[in-house]
Amino acid sequence: MAQKHGNKYGTHRVIEPVGVLPQPANKVDNNTDEIYDNEILIDVQTLNIDSASFTDISNRANHDPEKIKEIMFDIVAKQGKHRNPWTGSGGMLLGKVEKIGDALKDNIDLKVGDRIATLVSLSLTPLRIDEILEIRPEIDQVDIKGKAILFESGIYAKIPSDLPEKLSLSALDVAGAPAQTAKLCQYGQNVVILGAGGKSGMLCCYEAKKRVGVTGKVIGLANSPKSTNRIKELGFCDVVESVKGLTPVQVGELVSKLTNGKMADVTINCVNVPDQEMTAILCTKDNGTVYFFSMATSFTKASLGAEGIGADVNMIMGNGYTKGHAEFTLQELRESEKLRKIFEELYA
């Protein structure tokens, strides 16, 4: 029997409300017994839940693994995908290509058996979880038995042979951040990175320093003692400060002091908890740029908050995709022995 033809963007999988795309949909069809002719069926090995989402779920479960499992099963049962109902965010996955739709077979560089990481959010990916095998809360990863669907428009990266799978997955999950950092930062600028000691933060610090050069300054702001020490030891930042317990105004005053009143040309927010919008804005000079990579960011809080203090800043809501971002980020791990070593210790 010929396979049904699906919409490029996956709207054929949307159950309700009809007419929307899969990401904002309340429920999608996650039946994987049959696939459409322009879909890829993936045998899923690992879910890399985005940091804001996993932190939120873990807090709601009081860090109990069994309760985390219950919440995850419930999310997928209700929506047919893993979109955190409180943060709206998802993550991405690692798996093996099980089947390729007839209309795609001759048009993509994949074959059955290839191991891939999806570079589109779990918040739009039809997903079936049959069993949760292991939860690794320290790196936001969950090993499962299950299936997922990648649409024709979905982007992916083949897992490279020279890097461990879990290492690649962790880096690819935040690939948009360092790639966007490279586009935003220029020679001689002051750059502030919030959440500098986290996964995306470390990659951004490395890339920012490459771009601003010896006359620029990269200021890494971290929260916990562990993440503060981590980014200090890596040596990617000109200055590292702990801002644990500081208010947004106090952080802004600290940045003013560190930049002799010039403030940041570019501020990058990689923090995985909410209510950090004003901290980032207060670090940034007029006509400067704030890049909100964190999925905990509220557009309303950022927009109205900037207006409320008369801050004329350019705000970019983190698009997790920019052309070439996957290979770009993996190349950072190949370039920097320090970066690769810490990622292998934490995530591999």
pLDDT tens digit sequence for 239-273: 999 999 999 999 999 999 999 999 999 999 999 88
> What is the mean predicted confidence (pLDDT) over 121-133?
97
Look up tokens 């985005």; give the residue: 50
Q: How confident is the model at residue 61 (pLDDT cuts 50, 70, 90)?
A: very high
Calculate the alpha carbon distances from 98 to 4, 19, 231, 317 in Å: 18, 29, 40, 34
User: Rounded CA gap, 58 and 54, in Å?
Assistant: 6
Mean pLDDT throughout 200-206?
A: 96
Amino acid identity, position 296: A
CATH code at 176-347: 3.40.50.720
Q: Residue 174: name the closest of 289, 294, 336 by CA.
A: 294
Domain boundaries, the chain: 11-159, 176-347
Tell me the pLDDT tens digit for each residue of 35-55: 999 999 999 999 999 988 999
> Rounded distance, CA 158 to CA 156, Å?
7
Count of residues making up the chain: 348
The token pair at 180 is 């966007």
The pLDDT, as a whole number, for residue 216 is 98
- Cβ(104)–Cβ(134) under 8 Å? no
86-124 pLDDT, tens digit per residue, is 999 999 999 999 999 999 998 899 999 999 999 999 999
Is pLDDT above 90 for 81?
yes
Q: How many CA atoms lie within 13 A of 337 on its CB side?
A: 0
**Gap between the Cα atoms of 79 and 313, Å rounded:** 37
CB 321 within 8 A of CB 347: no
Percent of the chain's residues with pLDDT above 90: 89
Average pLDDT, whole number, for the chain? 95
